[in-house]
Amino acid sequence: MKTEEKTINKERQALVIKKYLQYLKLEKGLSPNTIDAYQTDLGKLLRFLEVEQISVFEVTLDDLQRFNAGLHDIGIHPRSQARILSGIKSFFYFMVMADYREDNPSELLEGPKIGFKLPEVLTVEEIDRIIDAIDLSKDEGQRNRAILETLYSCGLRVSELCNLKLSDLYLDEGFIRVTGKGDKQRLVPISPRAIKELNYWFQDRNTTWRIKPGFEDYVFLARWGKSISRIMVFHLIKELAEVAGITKNISPHTFRHSFATHLLEGGANLRAIQCMLGHESIATTEIYTHIDRQMLRSEIIEHHPRSILYREQKR
288 is catalytic: yes
Examine the residue annotation and report whether 253 is marked as an active-site residue of this protein: yes
Does residue 290 have an active-site annotation? no
For the chain, the residue count is: 315
230 is catalytic: no
Residue 226 DSSP code: S
Active site residue 210: no
Could you give the CA distance from residue 151 to residue 219 in angstroms, rounded to a whole number? 13
Residues whose CB falls within 8 Å of the CB of residue 199, separated by 6 or more in sequence, listed in order: 171
Find residue 178's DSSP bridge partners. Answer: 186
d(CA 281, CA 152): 22
Angstrom distance (rounded) from CA 19 to CA 16: 5
Annotated catalytic residue within 205, 256, 257, 262: 256
**3-class DSSP state of 203:** helix
Q: Are 201 and 218 in contact (CB under 8 A)?
A: no
Q: Which residue is catalytic, options 12, 25, 230, 279?
A: 279
Catalytic one of 157, 205, 257, 262: 157
Distance CA 195, CA 200 (A): 9
Burial 144-177 (b: 16+ CB within 10 A, else e): bbbbbbbbbbbbbbbbbbbbbeeebbeeeeebbe
Q: From the candidates 83, 165, 181, 186, give the one annotated as an active-site residue.
A: 181
Residue 218 among the catalytic residues = no
CA dihedral over 131, 134, 139, 140, signed as positive or negative: negative
Considering 12, 25, 44, 253, which one is annotated as catalytic? 253
| Positions marked active-site | 157, 181, 253, 256, 279, 288
